[in-house]
């Protein structure tokens, strides 16, 4: 099988694409997979690191405002369709799959014009504009939440599959968890709280964790903060101005990015994070208690709805972004670590996990490919 996977921007778009690619390779060793992305997103790092080839085109999100910059982006995105057509003609795929990012519009349009089978995966319960716009052009749309089905009325076919993620190779032993904590210079005798804000970091979470540590509230636990590449450098410079070394903070270890995040999630005792669809899926599959801080101002407030899925089964606590501060966060951490049942919350999280997601997706890919032959 020859497949093109289009994704761009954040890990939430790219990692599901890589998970699908890995499944295709697992089932068909002779398969040939090409990724299409942009020059600006994390795909430039994550896709080659996963062992796949990446071609890039121009693609931008368009604002409703009429401006010279927006008009330029619109023309560049239209050019992106032509660029995608050239790549598709050259590669000759059996199927084209989009897993997120503005790039999907250009690539799916190009593929449909060339009569190549197309598929989209929508991770959120509230589908984005691009998915709705492309519904009539796409042979199969795969969704992570049942609520999304009724929100794409023009789709030819919709299938509930869950969000594809790279699953843990094995459950980590106690010794392996201790070793991983020591690797990040954390004290294994204390609970480890892992805080992260997605592939690019979350300033609100970063600032709150730094304030919490500055006020010495984390005496009973230690925090591993994944700040994001750009924000890590900003934090490092700010700490230096105040006479502090980012490598020598009491009870707090800050890193820019973790490639094997699921392993570190498994080794941690409690998670603090946003509530994107991929993150919720990883939490459910690993089975960890969490404090969720939904990203505000996103379409249909979908991160709040995602977070409530876990909160409603006593697997997570929610702190609204506007109410987030060091004292509020510390109170929640202390209550869960000292008074809550970590194991029970983790088991509750597992209840919403959709099993065999990549198997379901691979089955749909085969069906789409066979229909076109």
CA distance 289 to 270: 6
In terms of domains, do 179 and 328 share one? yes
The domain spanning residue 207 has which CATH number?
A: 3.40.50.2000
Instruction: Report the percentage of the chain scoring pLDDT > 70.
Output: 93
**pLDDT over 80 at 59, yes or no:** no
What's the chain's average pLDDT? 91
Which residue in the block uniquely carries the two structure tokens 């294994």? 188
Q: For residue 169, tell me if it sits in a domain.
A: no
Count of domains forming the chain: 2
Pairing of strands 222-226, 140-143: unpaired
Concatenated DSSP letters for 39-53? Answer: SSSTHHHHHHHTT-E
CA distance 123 to 93: 24
In terms of domains, do 150 and 186 share one? no
**How is residue 124 annotated by DSSP?**
S
Given this model, what pLDDT does residue 102 score? Answer: 81
**pLDDT over 70 at 75, yes or no:** no
Query: Stretch 60-80: mean pLDDT, rounded?
Result: 62
Q: What is the pTM of this model?
A: 0.79
Residue 53 is part of which domain span?
Answer: 2-162+355-372
Q: What is the dihedral of CA 86, 89, 93, 97, to 10 degrees?
A: 30
Given this model, what pLDDT does residue 98 score? Answer: 96
* Lowest pLDDT segment from 168-172, 284-288, 329-333: 168-172
CA distance 348 to 365: 32
**How is residue 353 annotated by DSSP?**
P
Q: For residue 204, tell me if it sits in a domain.
A: yes
In terms of domains, do 158 and 217 share one? no
In terms of domains, do 142 and 185 share one? no
């Amino acid at each position: 099988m020859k497949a093109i996977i289009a994704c761009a921007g954040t890990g939430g778009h790219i990692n599901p694409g890589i998970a699908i690619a890995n499944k295709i390779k697992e089932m068909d060793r002779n398969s040939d997979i090409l990724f299409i992305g942009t020059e600006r997103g994390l795909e430039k790092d994550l896709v080659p690191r996963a062992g796949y080839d990446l071609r890039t085109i121009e693609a931008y999100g368009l604002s409703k405002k009429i401006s010279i910059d927006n008009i330029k982006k619109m023309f560049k995105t239209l050019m992106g369709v032509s660029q995608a057509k050239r790549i598709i003609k050259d590669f000759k795929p059996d199927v084209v799959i989009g897993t997120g990012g503005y790039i999907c519009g250009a690539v799916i349009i190009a593929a449909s014009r060339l009569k190549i089978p197309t598929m989209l995966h929508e991770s959120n319960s509230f589908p984005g504009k691009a998915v709705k716009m492309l519904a009539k052009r796409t042979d199969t749309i795969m969704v992570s939440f049942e609520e999304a089905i009724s929100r794409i009325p023009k789709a030819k076919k919709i299938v509930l599959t869950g969000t594809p993620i790279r699953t843990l190779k094995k459950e980590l032993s106690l010794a392996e968890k201790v070793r991983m904590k020591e690797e990040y210079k954390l004290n294994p005798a204390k609970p480890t709280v892992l805080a992260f804000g997605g592939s690019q970091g979350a300033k609100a979470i970063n600032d709150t964790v730094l304030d919490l540590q500055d006020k010495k509230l984390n005496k009973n636990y230690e925090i591993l903060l994944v700040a994001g590449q750009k924000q890590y450098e900003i934090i490092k410079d700010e700490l230096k101005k105040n006479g502090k070394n980012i490598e020598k903070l009491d009870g707090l270890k800050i890193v820019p990015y973790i490639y094997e995040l699921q392993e570190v999630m498994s080794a941690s005792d409690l998670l603090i994070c946003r509530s994107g669809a991929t993150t919720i899926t990883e939490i459910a599959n690993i089975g960890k208690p969490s404090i969720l801080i939904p990203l505000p101002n996103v379409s249909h407030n979908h991160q709040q709805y995602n977070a409530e899925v876990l909160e409603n089964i006593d697997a997570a606590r929610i702190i609204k972004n506007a109410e987030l501060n060091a004292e509020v966060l510390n109170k929640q951490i202390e209550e869960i670590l000292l008074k809550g049942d970590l194991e029970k919350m983790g088991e509750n999280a597992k209840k919403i996990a959709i099993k065999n997601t990549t198997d379901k997706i691979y089955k749909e890919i085969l069906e789409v490919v066979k229909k076109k032959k």
